């Protein structure tokens, strides 16, 4: 029962009303107390009086405000208020600053539907008044002390010498007798004790003085009236001049009704007559005339004074104040409420309000018509009872966002009382009170008919597709959201799309996103979108459309709006290709030839540069495995690190050149995201441990395990960003975080990936240089940390190539956070999941030498390979000591290997690497020698260099596949630089190669590959 009352009280507070302006602007502190005695609301004046803001005041325990004695007074008065009896008491309370203040507190019951649901607390600060009273009391005590206990007689007289008082309260009546000579001989008198009367007179004078003090300085009008029908003024305080313009003498002796507005006289008289039988305080509001003739609103609070002897009404004591501003505020509030009510009730849309649990509180008649339920039924329901179960999850999601203060617009389906499904467009707006969300407004429009129109348009577009297919011009239609609803065959061919792929997509983001200069094309400037907004047909003589493969062509097009019943429901675009001019074609072909030549040159240079680099790196690695003194090892480490740095610079330059030439291709596949990130992180764990830096990563709970994207490019981006973070961080931590973001297209997945560090940070005025090619922030930084300035530029271009964006947040001295988005796909059902697993397995089978395709497998096998190498080293050490076994002699059941490599240094490095792993490989120096070796001996596995003189590795592999019997067919692993592999991948696989290895070769990768094929071929591992 109490909870119901408290809930009703809070509901009334939320709905507000005509009292709200008075409540907010009243100078006295007004609080609302529920039936349990708890403060639930307070007006702004409370903060001025107590020092606590209203939201903080209502949370305070009573012990912070009142002592135990004052709390007893409060509880007694509060109990009477719950019995519908107003009352007041005076109490001391503790201000926020710690000082004790005095207050006059009045409790008034809040009655709703003949039931007390709360109590108003109206408090006035009387600290200053009490201070004045205390000062007067002390002065009176001092006067009485002096006059009563002084040895001398103390008297006071008026200006004529008349005695007003004498101490010690003695007045004598005496006669004097004289002798014959005239000398007084005796005095006879009577003495009367008037001490008590003196005290009464002094108290009366003090009371009168205090009354004058209050009446003269009070801002309210204090008056006494006769208790009859005329209510004649017996006394009026000085504030009558300020409030009404009348001197008190002008009002005394006049009936109060002479100053009333004529319309208010009978109302006030009737009210006062009804109050004469009550001994309680009354309050009445009316209009009163000022001396200048204007009327203002007065609120009078008064009570009747009764004769102590007869018990009859003696007079009325009234305190009045100007409430004109309050009445005006109430009037404006009432007008505002009426306007809101009219808007709410007569809006053509269905309007309702809900609490934070989604239960309907108020609603208009249109919402009743939409749902088929009456108002009483709906106020006992929530939106969960109306929404179609298929759309309930999405609706709850938008409702939760609205509860967070974010307005929402979305479409859903409701089921009316008759069971009919109705498609609606919903707008949810949060209801804010004191910066807190207390509920949600909803506006609903029935879009069922509009949806049917769209379906009809789509149906018509399908029926007319045959007609449109015979037209040579490209034609496509858009709905009101800018998404394609139909496209003819000519348009699809010119744009490079299948018709079904283009339908449902935004044409602006697909074919009209960039100008001919390469800059972004703002949607607001697009003539097609402008026509859909204003309904004006437009013709464009020259513009650029973009094909699916990334190429562009010049078009001339017209766009016309589709109008249904006076409403724009879409647009039709008709275009044709105007790039037939020979100059444009020749320029395009020339640019393509230049790009092709550049690409071929880069591939050749990459191979030629990498060949000696492989020798340097390989020989250095072999040298480091020998017994060296400290100085020799120091020099060899420098050679190794410098070679790796030079190779990284070469990779950056070549990658950048490929991207600039448009030759960077993406290979999308289904892969394990966690394994991909883990492989990139583990690459830097040794360096991070060396610098005592924590390197961790976190993948959000809503990120799927398997995604469809390019794992190689994703790992390359992560490696660049983590490497940068590690380079510029001396202490602290590096965190990689992956979270899923909302995406408008349900079939796509948007991931946000961030790399945060606690490094040196980047000055704000230098951040614009970050993603520029060959850009360094500062020469000093460049000299200390090194780098080409291409890493972030390559990351930016790769991210954009994959459809995302990259940005940075950094503060100098505190660290940096690089964020990029990744648009990818995910497995939607079990059938697709099975397909993804098959693709992944195929990759592992055909390209097991490329570790980036299966990161989880690589991790486990690298550990096994490391153990294998350690074991092999131990065996070699034993052989060296004992001299009984030669590690170069192949054991029975071990893989037989052939190395086809034309470069002598690289060949020597690889052979020694295999010998250290316990193998005894044979060597061929070109493709012809490799074919001859296979024809003379059976090999289990061939490492085949792709680029060799006399005969290349691809042709040699093809011949081996053609001539060698199936039961003797060796496994062929291709070897070359990254650039050659990317260009020749399909040819290599088609020639029969089972996998590919990138140069320079890594011992761990080779060990993993040999272990894998030993297992597959049933051979023993070295």
- For 733-748, what is each residue's pLDDT tens digit? 999 999 998 876 666 7
Contact, 972 vs 957, CB < 8 A? yes
DSSP letter, residue 995 = E
Q: Given this model, what pLDDT does residue 12 score?
A: 59
DSSP letter, residue 255 = B
Q: Given this model, what pLDDT does residue 260 score?
A: 93
More confident residue, 654 or 820: 820
- For 236-267, what is each residue's pLDDT tens digit? 888 888 889 999 899 999 999 999 999 999 99
CATH says 347-452 is which class? alpha beta
State percent of the chain over pLDDT 70: 77
pLDDT at 862 over 60: no
Rounded to whole angstroms, the Cα distance separating 421 from 416 reads: 7
Query: pTM of the entire structure?
Result: 0.32
> At 859, is the pLDDT very low, low, confident or very high (cuts 50, 70, 90)?
very low
Residue 794: exposure state from Cβ atoms within 10 A (0-12, 13-18, ≥19): buried
- For 688-730, what is each residue's pLDDT tens digit? 898 899 999 999 988 999 999 888 889 888 988 998 888 889 8
- For 110-129, what is each residue's pLDDT tens digit? 888 788 888 889 988 888 88
Rounded to whole angstroms, the Cα distance separating 35 from 699 reads: 51
The fold for domain 468-583 equals Beta-Lactamase (3.30.450)
The fold for domain 218-324 equals Beta-Lactamase (3.30.450)
- For 783-805, what is each residue's pLDDT tens digit? 445 555 667 888 888 888 888 88
Q: Given this model, what pLDDT does residue 288 score?
A: 93
Q: Average pLDDT in the 1001-1010 region?
A: 85
**Sequence ranges of the chain with CATH classification 3.30.450.20:** 5-132, 218-324, 347-452, 468-583
Q: Given this model, what pLDDT does residue 949 score?
A: 86
Q: Average pLDDT in the 312-336 region?
A: 85
Q: Average pLDDT in the 400-422 region?
A: 92
Q: Given this model, what pLDDT does residue 884 score?
A: 32
pLDDT at 35 over 80: yes
Q: Range with the lowest mean pLDDT among 15-19, 302-306, 882-886?
A: 882-886
Q: Given this model, what pLDDT does residue 425 score?
A: 92
- For 61-82, what is each residue's pLDDT tens digit? 888 888 888 888 888 898 998 8
pLDDT at 360 over 70: yes
End-to-end CA distance of the chain: 84
- For 272-297, what is each residue's pLDDT tens digit? 888 776 767 888 999 999 999 999 99
Rounded to whole angstroms, the Cα distance separating 416 from 414 reads: 6
The fold for domain 665-824 equals Heat Shock Protein 90 (3.30.565)
> At 389, is the pLDDT very low, low, confident or very high (cuts 50, 70, 90)?
very high
Q: Average pLDDT in the 572-585 region?
A: 77
The fold for domain 5-132 equals Beta-Lactamase (3.30.450)
Q: Cβ neighbours of residue 577 under 8 Å, at least 6 residues apart?
A: 474, 494, 553, 554, 555
Q: Please give the CATH architecture assigned to the domain spanning 897-1017.
A: 3-Layer(aba) Sandwich (3.40)
> At 388, is the pLDDT very low, low, confident or very high (cuts 50, 70, 90)?
very high
Geometric angle at alpha carbon 73, from 71 and 78, rounded to 5°: 90
Contact, 473 vs 493, CB < 8 A? no
pLDDT at 870 over 90: no
Q: Given this model, what pLDDT does residue 401 score?
A: 93
Q: Given this model, what pLDDT does residue 245 score?
A: 92
Mode of pairing for the β-strands spanning 436-446 and 184-193: unpaired
> At 773, is the pLDDT very low, low, confident or very high (cuts 50, 70, 90)?
low
pLDDT at 300 over 70: yes
Q: Given this model, what pLDDT does residue 159 score?
A: 65
Q: Given this model, what pLDDT does residue 883 score?
A: 35
**Sequence ranges of the chain with CATH classification 3.40.50.2300:** 897-1017
pLDDT at 187 over 70: no
More confident residue, 858 or 641: 641
Q: Given this model, what pLDDT does residue 888 score?
A: 36
- For 904-945, what is each residue's pLDDT tens digit? 878 888 888 898 888 999 999 999 999 999 988 999 999 999
Q: Cβ neighbours of residue 211 under 8 Å, at least 6 residues apart?
A: none
Q: Cβ neighbours of residue 497 under 8 Å, at least 6 residues apart?
A: 487, 510, 548
| Four-point Cα dihedral 372, 373, 379, 380, nearest 10 | -130
Q: Given this model, what pLDDT does residue 851 score?
A: 35
Q: Average pLDDT in the 174-201 region?
A: 63
> At 677, is the pLDDT very low, low, confident or very high (cuts 50, 70, 90)?
very high
- For 441-463, what is each residue's pLDDT tens digit? 999 999 888 888 877 877 776 67
At 676 the three-state DSSP class reads helix
Q: Given this model, what pLDDT does residue 993 score?
A: 92
Rounded to whole angstroms, the Cα distance separating 671 from 853 reads: 7
pLDDT at 611 over 80: no
Q: Given this model, what pLDDT does residue 372 score?
A: 92
Residue 414: exposure state from Cβ atoms within 10 A (0-12, 13-18, ≥19): buried
Q: Given this model, what pLDDT does residue 409 score?
A: 93
Contact, 734 vs 688, CB < 8 A? yes
More confident residue, 358 or 999: 358
Q: Given this model, what pLDDT does residue 328 score?
A: 86
- For 482-536, what is each residue's pLDDT tens digit? 889 888 888 888 888 988 888 888 888 888 878 767 778 888 888 898 998 888 9
> At 148, is the pLDDT very low, low, confident or very high (cuts 50, 70, 90)?
low
**Sequence ranges of the chain with CATH classification 3.30.565.10:** 665-824
More confident residue, 202 or 832: 202
Query: Average pLDDT, whole number, for the chain?
Result: 79
More confident residue, 685 or 624: 685
């Amino acid at each position: 029962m109490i909870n119901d009352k408290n809930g009703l009280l809070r509901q009334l507070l939320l709905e507000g009303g005509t009292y709200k302006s008075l409540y907010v602007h009243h100078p006295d502190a007004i609080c609302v107390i529920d039936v349990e005695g708890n403060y639930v609301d307070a007006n702004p004046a409370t903060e001025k009086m107590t020092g606590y803001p209203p939201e903080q005041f209502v949370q305070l325990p009573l012990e912070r405000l009142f002592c135990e004695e004052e709390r007893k007074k409060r509880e007694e008065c509060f109990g009477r208020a719950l019995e519908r009896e107003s009352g007041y008491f005076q109490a001391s309370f503790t201000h926020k600053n710690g000082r004790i203040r005095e207050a006059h507190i009045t409790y008034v019951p809040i009655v709703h539907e003949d039931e007390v649901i709360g109590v108003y607390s109206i408090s006035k600060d009387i600290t200053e008044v009490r201070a004045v009273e205390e000062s007067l009391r002390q002065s009176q005590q001092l006067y009485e002390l002096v006059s009563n206990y002084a040895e001398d007689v103390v008297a006071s007289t008026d200006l004529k010498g008349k005695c007003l008082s004498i101490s010690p309260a003695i007045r004598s009546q005496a006669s004097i007798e004289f002798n014959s000579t005239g000398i007084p001989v005796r005095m006879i008198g009577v003495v009367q004790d008037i001490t008590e009367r003196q005290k009464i007179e002094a108290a009366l004078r003090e009371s009168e003085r205090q009354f004058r003090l209050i009446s003269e300085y009070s801002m309210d009008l204090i008056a006494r009236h006769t208790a009859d029908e005329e209510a004649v003024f017996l006394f009026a305080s000085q504030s009558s001049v300020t409030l009404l313009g009348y001197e008190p003498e002008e009002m005394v002796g006049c009936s109060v009704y002479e100053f009333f507005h004529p319309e208010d006289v009978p109302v006030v008289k009737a009210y006062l007559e009804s109050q004469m039988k009550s001994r309680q305080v009354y309050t009445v509001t009316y209009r009163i005339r000022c001396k200048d003739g204007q009327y203002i609103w007065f609120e009078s609070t008064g009570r009747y004074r009764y004769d102590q002897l007869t018990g009859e009404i003696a007079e009325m004591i009234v305190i009045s104040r100007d409430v004109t501003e309050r009445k005006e505020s109430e009037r404006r509030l009432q007008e505002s409420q009426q306007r809101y009510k009219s808007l709410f009730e007569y809006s053509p849309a269905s309007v309702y309000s809900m609490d934070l649990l989604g239960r309907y509180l108020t609603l208009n008649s249109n919402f009743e018509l939409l749902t088929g339920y009456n108002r009483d039924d709906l106020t006992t329901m929530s939106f969960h009872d109306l929404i179609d179960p298929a759309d309930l999850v999405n609706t709850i999601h938008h409702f939760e966002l609205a509860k967070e203060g974010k307005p929402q617009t979305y479409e859903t389906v409701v089921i009316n009382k008759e069971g009919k499904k109705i498609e609606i467009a919903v707008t949810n707006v949060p209801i804010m009170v004191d910066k807190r969300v207390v509920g949600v407004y909803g506006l609903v429009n029935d879009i069922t008919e509009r949806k049917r129109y769209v379906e009809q348009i789509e149906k018509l577009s399908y029926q007319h597709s045959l007609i449109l297919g015979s037209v040579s011009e490209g034609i496509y239609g858009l709905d009101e959201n800018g998404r394609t609803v139909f496209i003819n065959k000519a348009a699809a061919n010119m744009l490079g799309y299948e018709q079904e792929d283009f339908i449902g997509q935004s044409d602006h983001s697909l074919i009209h996103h960039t100008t001919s200069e390469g800059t972004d094309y703002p949607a607001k400037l697009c003539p097609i979108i402008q026509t859909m907004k204003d309904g004006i047909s437009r013709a464009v003589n020259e513009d650029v459309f973009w094909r699916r493969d990334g190429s562009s062509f010049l078009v001339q097009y017209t766009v016309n709006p589709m109008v249904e019943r006076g409403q724009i429901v879409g647009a039709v675009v008709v275009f044709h290709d105007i790039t037939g001019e020979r100059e444009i074609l020749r320029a395009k072909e020339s640019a393509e030839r230049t790009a092709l030549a550049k690409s071929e040159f880069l591939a050749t240079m990459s191979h030629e540069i990498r060949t000696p680099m492989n020798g340097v790196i390989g020989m250095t690695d072999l040298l480091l495995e020998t017994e060296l003194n400290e100085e020799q090892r120091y020099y060899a480490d420098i050679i190794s690190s410098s070679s790796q740095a030079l190779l990284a610079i070469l990779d950056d330059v070549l990658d950048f050149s490929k991207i600039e030439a448009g030759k960077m291709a993406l290979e999308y596949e289904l892969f394990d995201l966690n394994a991909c990130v883990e492989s990139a992180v583990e690459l830097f764990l040794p360096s991070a441990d060396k610098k005592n830096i924590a390197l961790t990563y976190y993948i959000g709970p809503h990120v799927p395990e398997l995604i469809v994207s390019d794992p190689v490019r994703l790992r390359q981006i992560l490696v660049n960003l983590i490497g940068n973070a590690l380079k510029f961080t001396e202490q602290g931590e590096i965190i990689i975080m992956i979270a899923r973001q909302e995406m408008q297209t349900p079939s796509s997945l948007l991931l946000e990936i961030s790399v945060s560090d606690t490094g040196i940070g980047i000055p704000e005025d230098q951040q614009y240089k970050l993603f520029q090619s060959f850009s360094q922030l500062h020469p000093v930084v460049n000299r200390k940390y090194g780098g080409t300035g291409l890493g972030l530029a390559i990351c930016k271009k790769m991210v954009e190539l994959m459809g995302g964006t990259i940005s940075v947040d950094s503060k100098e001295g505190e660290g940096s956070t690089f964020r990029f988005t990744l648009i990818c796909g995910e497995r939607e059902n079990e059938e697709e999941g099975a397909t993804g697993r098959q693709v992944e397995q195929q990759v592992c089978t055909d390209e097991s030498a490329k570790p980036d395709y299966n990161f989880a497998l690589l991790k486990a096998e690298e550990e096994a390979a490391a153990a294998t190498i350690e074991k092999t080293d131990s065996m070699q050490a034993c052989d060296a000591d004992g001299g009984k076994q030669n590690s170069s002699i192949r054991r029975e059941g071990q893989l037989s290997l052939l190395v086809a490599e034309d470069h002598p240094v690289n060949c020597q490095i690889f052979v020694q690497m295999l010998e250290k792993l316990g193998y005894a490989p044979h060597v061929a120096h070109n493709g012809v020698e490799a074919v001859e070796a296979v024809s003379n001996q059976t090999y289990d596995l061939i490492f085949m260099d792709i680029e060799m003189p006399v005969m290349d590795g691809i042709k040699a592999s093809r011949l081996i596949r053609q001539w060698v019997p199936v039961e003797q067919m060796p496994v062929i692993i291709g070897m070359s630089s990254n650039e050659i592999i990317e260009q020749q991948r399909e040819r290599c696989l088609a020639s029969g190669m089972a996998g590919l290895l990138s140069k320079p070769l890594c011992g761990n990768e080779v060990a993993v590959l040999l272990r894998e094929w030993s297992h597959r071929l049933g051979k023993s591992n070295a």
